[in-house]
Amino acid sequence: MTKKAIRKTVIISLSTLAFLFIVLCVHIYIVTRPKPIDQYSRVMARIDINQQISQADADKIQTWLYEEKGVDHVLVNAKTKIVVFTFFPIKTSGDKIVSDFKAALPYKNATRYVPTEAEMQSGCPMSSPSTDKLTAFIKSII
């Protein structure tokens, strides 16, 4: 193989790698770019009741929440006094639901639990942002 042919092969190989890297960057951007809220977006929220409730109270809370516009699914745990629900952010907001909840039902001490930023960074093993070092690196530069 002549020096010229080797040089050409190296150039083609490097160009190919550069091209593939660009394709990978574009692909990662498309896959991981922020998605706008749409009709299918769902968010989970939690209300801490902060007072004793019976199962009958829990059932009433569940019924009330299901009647709220934009609420998707509800679970009330009477034992832990925690209400968990998902909602469609295109139709309502968590704060509005909690505000309406406190106005309509006798749970004035109820609070919406919103995690801090620090808690969000260490809050779930399966939600690890990126598992692939190359992907993480590329995401950091795009």
CA 47 to chain centre: 18
Minimum distance of other proteins from residue 37's CB (angstroms): 7
Q: Is the Cα dihedral 83, 89, 90, 96 positive or negative? A: positive
3-class SS of residue 85:
strand
Binding mask 13-42 for other proteins (x = CB under 8 A): ---x--xx--xx--x---xx-xx-x-xxxx
Size of the site for other proteins (CB under 8 A): 50
SS (H, E, C) 107-141: CCCCEEECCCHHHHHCCCHHHCCCCCHHHHHHHHH
The stretch near other proteins (CB under 8 A) out of 59-67, 71-79, 100-108 is 71-79
Site string for other proteins, 81-120 (x = CB under 8 A): -xxx-x--x----x------------------xxx---xx
DSSP conformation letters of 49-68 = --S---HHHHHHHHHHHHHS
Q: Binding residues for other proteins, per CB under 8 A?
A: 5, 8-9, 12, 16, 19-20, 23-24, 27, 31-32, 34-35, 37, 39-46, 73, 75-77, 80, 82-84, 86, 89, 94, 113-115, 119-129, 131-132
